[in-house]
Structure 1
Amino acid sequence: MTALLDAALDTPPAAKDAVRYASWPARAGALALDVLPGVALITTMALLAVTTTHGSWLWWVFTAVMALAAMATFANRWLAPAITGWTLGRAVAGIRVTTADGAAAGSPRLLLRDLAHLLDTASLLVGWFWPLGDKRHRTFADLLVRTEVRVVDAPQANVRRLAAVILIATAVLGAGGAGLGYWQVYREDRAVEQARSEIAQQGPRIVEQLLSYGQQTVVDDFAKAQSLATDQYRPQLVQQQQAVQKAGVTDNEYWAVSSAVLSATKDHAAMLLALQGQRGSDPNTLKFITATVRADFEKSRDGRWQVATLTVLKKPLMGQAGPPGAAAPAAPAPPPGRPAPAPPNGGPGR
């Protein structure tokens, strides 16, 4: 009996406190809990930010959540171990990263270790599974920076509850972001549909007023036309109007016989129009006009559609009225691609 007691007292301390290395499942679970929630949230917010208008309030929300998720992930992996001795995943698994002599690994070494995990991935994932055959359960990163992952007593705090709260918060933020993203896309789609509908109805009337004017009402017609042009296009329009006044004003009226919306966003649109018109007021000298133009529109701050550019695609053909069957001679016209020379305003039915 005395011999057995003496043998027990003589047992070396190292035998009582043998080092236990973390198992591969424990390491994988800890890594997943540390990294996957942040990666999932960052990826979700990045995708939502890409589908949202850059600079909008919702874009800033997604970007802010993405940045906070990245900061929280980095702090958990590199700062928390230096302060508390744990990451969240390792605390739940009851493991800790140490140096080869069992000392705590500092933040710089942990950062280098995570960077060295690129080698584990670059080796066709062989490095990640290396602990299954290594007697000290080390990855290539552990071998490179001389670290080990050991089993230790878990902290007294209820880390499992904290981990559950973080996972639930991540899921709620991801679902909420997806809902906001869908709502924003739905709103933008509706806005585009509304813009397309508005320009399909208003576009032809705007171009008709832009290109029509009367000899007796030319001042009001030109002023109206200028209000239908954007600030960038208005100087060019005024120059055309001045040229018309110098040449002598006569009645000039256009109407759209066919139109098609080429493209539309909530603030910009393009339309193709086939126009017919007449110039003059004397039935004996009345001239009939046909032309094809492209009109680009922009929405003003007060919600009105205005012409940003007006481009001739098919030269206007102008013929004089005459006896039935007589050919109508074509008048000179600006080459394709040049802005329509006649200033705007007035409307059909004048």
Structure 2
Amino acid sequence: MTAVLDDTPETTTAPDDTVRFASWPARAAALLLDVLPGVAVVATMALLAYTTPVGGWLWWVFMAVLAVAVLATLVNRWLLPSVVGATMGRSVMGIRVTTSDGDPAGSPRLIGRDVAHLLDTAALFVGWLWPLGDKRHRTFADLLLRTEVRVVDGTESNGRDVRRVAGAVLLAAAVLCAAGGGLGYLQVYRQDRAVEQARTQIAEQGPRIVEQLLSYGSQSVVGDFARAQSLATDAYRTQLVAQQQAVQKAGVTDNEYWAVSSAVLSVTPDRAAMLLALQGQRGSDPAKLKFITATVRADFEKHDGRWQVGVLTVLKKPLTGQSAASAPQAPAPPPPAPAPPKGQGR
């Protein structure tokens, strides 16, 4: 009897020992190459944007670079493997993410796998270390999504090209972080200088502005009120005009204030707050002058390079003292003692 053999080849599945699974150090290195440049740029730009005034051109530059870094990282992790076979980091390390059957993992599976890495992290990072004991070197995310990370063979020229790209990406990330840090430093330095300049200006000009705002004379009231209005912001000028009109209706008398002490409460390049203790005198007749004391808080705003009063809050209402005529006089000095007679006192 003659045995007849089937010439049709049988399809067999390669045993597990013929598949080379990526080692834990290779996977960790690939992940760092994929994520670290983007994370560094995002963290740097977020910190710089936080220390920069919102809405300024520099803030928008930082936010735009941050958005580009996030987008580039996501494209590298989720879209690039479907186009060239692997992410930048995995290409450098010569590894690929595949299904358990060895087929390439598509973008939806890669997205789900990255989301599932939250499980690796939530389990006190045990999932990230699970490949050290698993024979297929799988994390919890791999087990959940039925994926594996395998070693693939590539030509030496392709390896050199990928390494050049990776080097260029790392260099670009470093340059962006350094440039952003330089811009941020200049911004902070300029901000500090502007604040210090504003503090010096308001410490010198603030008391004089409040004095001119509150002082007026019966003979020069029109000019004094016009000057006071120029020292107020548009928002506060309406209230100031109403107060001036009330003074004119009641009868104008000389009113003079001067600041005896002041303290800057807060300051920015275009806003400041100051606490002032004021003394003054009221009246036109020197014999009937009334002495005044008051405590006010002045909020200043800077417009077109000039400091103006935005809000004036009276913390301690003016107290009127005695007139000059009725004020107690200082006691007269005692008369000199009489001279002793001649011949005595020796």
- Tell me the TM-score range normalised by the shorter chain: 0.7 to 0.9
Name the structure 1 match of 2:168: 165
SS in 2 for 1:299: strand
Deviations 1:39-75 (A, max 9, x none): 1111111111111111111111111111111000000
Cα distance between partner residues in 1 of 2:306 and 2:258 = 21
Offset, 1:315: 2.3
RMSD (CA atoms): 1.9
2:316 matches 1:314? yes
Cα distance between partner residues in 1 of 2:327 and 2:27 = 95
Name the structure 2 match of 1:106: 106
Point out 4+ residue stretches in structure 1 off by more than 6 angstroms: none
Quick one: which of 195, 198, 202 aligns to 2:198? 195
Paired residue type of 2:164: R
Name the structure 2 match of 1:282: 285
Quick one: which of 280, 288, 303 aligns to 2:305? 303
Deviations 1:275-294 (A, max 9, x none): 11111221122222111111
Name the structure 2 match of 1:177: 180
Name the structure 2 match of 1:217: 220
2:58 matches 1:58? yes
Note the 1:138-149 alignment, pairs <5 A: 138-149=138-149
2:257 matches 1:238? no
Paired residue type of 1:66: L
Cα distance between partner residues in 1 of 2:87 and 2:211 = 70
Paired residue type of 2:214: L
Offset, 1:263: 1.1
Cα distance between partner residues in 1 of 2:269 and 2:109 = 52
Name the structure 1 match of 2:261: 258
Paired residue type of 1:314: K
Aligned partners of 1:93 and 1:154 also within 8 Å:
no
Cα distance between partner residues in 2 of 1:307 and 1:119 = 58
Note the 1:3-14 alignment, pairs <5 A: 14=14
Higher-RCO chain (CA-CA 8 Å, sequence separation at least 6):
1
Deviates more, 1:123-132 or 1:101-110: 123-132
- Describe the shift of the 1:253–1:187 C-alpha distance in structure 2 as closer, same or farther (beyond 3 A): same
Aligned partners of 1:298 and 1:306 also within 8 Å:
yes
Which structure has the larger Rg?
2
Offset, 1:151: 0.7
Aligned partners of 1:213 and 1:251 also within 8 Å:
yes
Paired residue type of 2:307: W
Name the structure 1 match of 2:76: 76
Name the structure 1 match of 2:207: 204
Deviates more, 1:188-197 or 1:278-287: 278-287
Aligned partners of 1:95 and 1:154 also within 8 Å:
no
Name the structure 2 match of 1:26: 26
Aligned partners of 1:230 and 1:306 also within 8 Å:
yes
Cα distance between partner residues in 1 of 2:327 and 2:62 = 69
Cα distance between partner residues in 2 of 1:24 and 1:324 = 93
Name the structure 1 match of 2:336: none
Cα distance between partner residues in 1 of 2:154 and 2:298 = 71
Cα distance between partner residues in 1 of 2:254 and 2:327 = 23
Q: Which runs of 5+ in 2 are unaligned?
A: 1-11, 330-346
Cα distance between partner residues in 2 of 1:54 and 1:266 = 15
Name the structure 1 match of 2:135: 135
Cα distance between partner residues in 1 of 2:66 and 2:154 = 30
SS in 1 for 2:103: coil
Offset, 1:18: 2.5
SS in 2 for 1:284: helix
2:121 matches 1:88? no
TM-score by length of 2: 0.87
SS in 2 for 1:311: strand
Offset, 1:234: 0.8
Cα distance between partner residues in 1 of 2:162 and 2:247 = 82
TM-score by length of 1: 0.86
Name the structure 2 match of 1:119: 119
Offset, 1:135: 1.3
What is the number of residues matched between the two proteins?
316
